Amino acid sequence: MRKVVRKYKIKEQPKDFSFWQSKSYEERLDALEQIREEYNSWRYHAEQGFQRVYRIVKRK
């Protein structure tokens, strides 16, 4: 994903809906995933990953 920063004057900012409609679905999903990761990092102070399942096996 290529990171792009654009500066706008307050009166020249694009409308949110039209801005997101102009993006491809991949770009919208990437942005959503980034927001989700930032929220989870802030809320739970950890990176999310797959949960591990541990099982104790009795040896004979």
Q: What is the pLDDT of residue 1?
A: 78
pLDDT, position 14: 72
Phi first, then psi, for residue 4 (nearest 5°) are -130, 135
CB-based contact 20:28 (threshold 8 Å): yes
State residue 46's pLDDT score.
67
Tens digits of residue pLDDT in 7-59: 888 777 777 888 888 999 999 999 999 998 888 888 887 666 666 777 778 88
